[in-house]
């Protein structure tokens, strides 16, 4: 009996899982596929520490944001929210987004999609699914999620499970159609005749420009950010090898040698090789770095150290790391060790704003499209809760001062920005220089849109 059927007691066909969903033992782990790693995974992520560190940090941070399901209640305000959300995020723009979100949307706290996104399949949490999908996107330029959807019944068309599929194992299938050239997708660990319909796949991809109409199909497959850095990656690998060789063969800082007047004759080849071997065995390596050698003769000091070329090699490796970081908009200052606290805080804010938030925004749009299709409701919006990130929380004292000085915010918008509840008694709120009650000002016609009228 098939694994999926044994676990869930349901036929894969009825559940919407593809045929041939084989589980195999791979390097000691049971995995639902057995495929070759893509070049960017095998020769970059798994072998170059800086790439693994940057991408892991981005996807770990981006996948933390909890999902929310919202329903549009004001289309005009929703468009305004989308315009603000499409720019660079900051504590001040986040205040605007929060105020606009309250006008534009109503949160659907009990929507069934939330349970699906929280527990997408028996082997992954919601965070793990997001982390996996985002990781493949940043590495290969493509993220593939398979939506296991029942073929019939009351929940036909609505997924029961979501699976992250390794993008190197997926191939788009095309057909001769101008209106719908993409027929679907195949997965190389499934049977060849299994073409998964486009509607059952969530495909998030990066822009992939083409140079000829003969390559038009490439526009349906994303371009890896590491594609343009292929030579840079090779240089980084070579630099790491060269540095490793340099450290492995590290010699003492200097040695005491004969002055040439000690009466000894020339060394023959056998003696020279023996001395060379003895030197390597006894005095080279990291444990002997900076040591001093002594020889029993009329001696003088000879300094041994890193050559200018060796020193340039170390700086060159750091420069390559900075170039790789810029591919993912990772702040340079976060690569430096021992930075001051202020710079670190600025770096973390830049990290979330420039590297993390664009990934979150891309997934929010993709999943909004999917849930509208699943539930046949164009008013639904998938939204990641940015309140999760304390780095984006503004200083509340400075925030209130700024909002009041701006003279464009209502009292309700200020309360929303400060996370106070919507319901309050206006007769208990004091405003203005003379500390008049808000409802008295409103009754006297002196309060208009958050400002006092002349």
pLDDT of residue 165: 92
Average pLDDT, the chain: 75
Picking from 67-76, 167-176, 337-346, which range would have the lowest pLDDT averaged per residue? 337-346
pLDDT of residue 217: 79
Q: Give domain status of residue 337, yes or no.
A: no
Q: What is the DSSP letter of 95?
A: H
Burial 56-87 (b: 16+ CB within 10 A, else e): ebbbebbbbbebbbbebeeeebbebbeeebee
Q: Give domain status of residue 91, yes or no.
A: yes
Q: Give domain status of residue 314, yes or no.
A: no
Domain edge (last residue) among 172, 202, 225 = 225
pLDDT of residue 203: 94
Q: Are residues 235 and 157 in the same domain?
A: no
Percent residues over pLDDT 70 in the chain: 61
Q: Are residues 442 and 427 in the same domain?
A: yes
Picking from 37-41, 87-91, 349-353, which range would have the lowest pLDDT averaged per residue? 37-41
DSSP class per residue in 14-40: HHTPPTT---EEETTEEES---PPPHH
Q: Are residues 182 and 144 in the same domain?
A: yes
What's the CA gap between 259 and 304, in Å, rounded? Answer: 17
Check if the beta carbon of residue 140 is closer than 8 Å to that of residue 59.
no
What's the CA gap between 344 and 215, in Å, rounded? Answer: 44
The total domain count for the chain is 3
Q: Give domain status of residue 42, yes or no.
A: yes
Q: What is the mean pLDDT of residues 206-234?
A: 81
DSSP class per residue in 229-261: GHHHHHHHHHHHHHHHHHHHT---SEEEEE-S-
Q: What is the mean pLDDT of residues 325-344?
A: 70
pLDDT above 90 for 269: no
Q: Are residues 158 and 300 in the same domain?
A: no
Q: Are residues 18 and 154 in the same domain?
A: yes
pLDDT of residue 65: 93
pLDDT of residue 178: 75
Domain of 430, in residue numbers: 411-452
pLDDT of residue 4: 41
Q: pLDDT tens digit string along 164-173? A: 999 988 988 8
Q: Are residues 84 and 193 in the same domain?
A: yes
Domain edge (last residue) among 289, 306, 323 = 306
pLDDT band at residue 286 under the 50/70/90 scheme: low
DSSP class per residue in 379-410: TEEEEE-GGG-GGGPPPHHHHHHHHHHHT---
Q: Are residues 187 and 300 in the same domain?
A: no
Domain edge (last residue) among 225, 242, 274 = 225
Q: What share of the chain is helix, strand, coil (3-state, %, to 5)?
A: 50, 15, 35
Q: Are residues 174 and 76 in the same domain?
A: yes
Q: Give domain status of residue 108, yes or no.
A: yes
Picking from 121-130, 147-156, 408-417, which range would have the lowest pLDDT averaged per residue? 408-417
Burial of 357 (0-12, 13-18, 19+ CB in 10 A): buried
Q: Give domain status of residue 329, yes or no.
A: no
Q: Are residues 187 and 63 in the same domain?
A: yes
Q: Give domain status of residue 18, yes or no.
A: yes
Q: Are residues 127 and 264 in the same domain?
A: no
Q: Give domain status of residue 204, yes or no.
A: yes
22-36, 133-147, 188-202, range with greatest mean pLDDT: 133-147
Q: Are residues 132 and 215 in the same domain?
A: yes
β-partners of residue 69 are: 382
Which structure tokens are listed for 117?
């996104």
Q: Which of 290, 293, 302 is nearest to 250 (CA)?
A: 290
Q: Are residues 71 and 194 in the same domain?
A: yes
């Amino acid at each position: 009996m098939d694994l999926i059927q044994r676990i869930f007691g349901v036929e894969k066909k009825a559940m919407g899982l593809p045929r041939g969903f084989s589980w195999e033992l791979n390097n000691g782990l049971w995995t639902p596929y057995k495929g070759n790693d893509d070049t960017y995974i095998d020769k970059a992520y798994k072998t170059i520490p800086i790439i693994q560190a940057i991408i892991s940090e981005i996807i770990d941070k981006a996948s933390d944001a909890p999902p929310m399901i919202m329903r549009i209640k004001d289309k005009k305000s929703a468009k305004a929210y989308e315009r603000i959300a499409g720019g660079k995020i900051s504590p001040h723009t986040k205040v605007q987004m929060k105020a606009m979100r309250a006008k534009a949307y109503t949160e659907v706290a009990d929507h069934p999609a939330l349970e699906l996104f929280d527990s997408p399949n028996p082997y992954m949490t919601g965070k793990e699914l997001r982390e996996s999908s985002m990781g493949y996107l940043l590495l290969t330029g493509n993220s593939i999620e398979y939506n296991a959807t029942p073929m019939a019944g009351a929940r036909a068309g609505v997924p029961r499970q979501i699976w992250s599929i390794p993008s190197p194992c997926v191939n788009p299938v095309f057909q001769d159609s101008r209106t719908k050239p993409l027929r679907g997708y195949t997965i190389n660990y499934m049977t060849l005749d299994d073409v998964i319909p486009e509607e059952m796949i969530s495909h998030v991809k990066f822009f992939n420009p083409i140079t000829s109409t003969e390559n038009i199909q490439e526009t349906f497959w994303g371009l890896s950010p590491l594609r343009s850095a292929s030579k840079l990656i090779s240089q980084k690998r070579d630099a790491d090898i060269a540095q490793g060789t340099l450290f492995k063969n590290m010699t003492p800082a200097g040695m005491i040698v004969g002055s040439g007047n000690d009466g000894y004759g020339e060394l023959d080849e056998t003696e020279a090789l023996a001395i060379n071997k003895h030197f390597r065995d006894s005095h080279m390596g990291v444990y002997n770095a900076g040591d001093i050698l002594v020889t029993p003769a009329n001696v003088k000091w000879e300094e041994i150290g890193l050559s200018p070329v060796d020193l340039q090699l170390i700086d060159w490796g750091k420069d390559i790391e900075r170039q790789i970081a810029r591919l993912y908009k990772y702040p340079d200052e976060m690569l430096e060790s021992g930075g001051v606290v202020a710079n670190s805080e600025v770096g973390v804010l830049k990290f979330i704003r420039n590297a993390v938030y664009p990934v979150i925004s891309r997934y929010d749009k993709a999943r909004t499209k999917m849930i509208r299709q699943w539930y046949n409701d164009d008013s639904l919006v998938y939204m990641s809760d940015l309140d999760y990130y304390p780095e984006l929380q503004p200083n509340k004292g400075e925030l209130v001062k700024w909002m009041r000085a701006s003279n464009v915010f209502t009292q309700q918008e200020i309360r929303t920005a400060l996370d106070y509840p919507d319901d309050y008694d206006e007769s208990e709120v004091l405003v203005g220089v003379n500390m008049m009650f808000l409802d008295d000002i409103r009754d006297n016609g002196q309060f208009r849109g958050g400002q006092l009228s002349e």
